[in-house]
């Protein structure tokens, strides 16, 4: 059922930018791309979402390609507290009124001192 593909793991040096890619080649229509992260033993945390344009908030930036088939989450200055599993999500259209959110395996980001 997964509609996104992400690298299994990545390393990033502390203080450097972390660039996390995601492919969502079957994205369509008005589907938004969402990013969450999960720090060990905690619940997932919302980071950012976008449709077509690049987005930025206090946590991260989201770059979406023009064809919308892929995106990159950027943590501009990674810290040790950014070590987590990062999930890129699009929604799965259902026949019911609710469109299911699918969490794939995500990317395990390790920020190294």
Partner 1 sequence: DVKVTQSSRYLVKRTGEKVFLECVQDMDHENMFWYRQDPGLGLRLIYFSYDVKMKEKGDIPEGYSVSREKKERFSLILESASTNQTSMYLCASSWVIGPGRETQYFGPGTRLLVL
Question: Torsion over CA of 54, 4, 32 and 78, rounded to 10 degrees?
Answer: -40
Q: Rounded to 5 degrees, what angle do the CA atoms 66, 72, 78 make?
A: 150
53 touches partner 1 by CB under 8 A: no
Contact mark string toward partner 1, 57..86, x via CB under 8 A: ------------------------------
Q: Are strands 9-13 and 107-112 parallel, antiparallel or unpaired?
A: parallel
Residue with tokens 């950012």: 48
Candidate residues 8, 29, 53, 95; the one interacting with partner 1 per rule CB under 8 A: 29
Q: Which stretch binds partner 1 (CB under 8 A): 7-15, 16-24, 71-79, 89-97?
A: 89-97
Q: By the criterion CB under 8 A, which residues form the site for partner 1?
A: 29-32, 34, 36, 41-46, 49, 51, 91, 96-101, 103-106
């Amino acid at each position: 059922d997964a509609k996104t593909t992400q690298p299994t793991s990545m390393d990033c040096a502390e203080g450097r930018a972390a660039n996390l890619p995601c492919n969502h080649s079957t994205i369509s229509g008005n589907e938004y791309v969402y990013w969450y992260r999960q720090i060990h033993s905690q619940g997932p945390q919302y980071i950012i979402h976008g449709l077509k344009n690049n987005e930025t908030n206090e946590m991260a930036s989201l770059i979406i390609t023009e064809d919308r088939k892929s995106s990159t989450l950027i943590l501009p200055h990674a810290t040790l507290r950014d070590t987590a599993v990062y999930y890129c999500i699009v929604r799965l259209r259902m026949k019911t009124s609710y469109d299911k959110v699918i969490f794939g395996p995500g990317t395990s980001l390790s920020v190294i001192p």
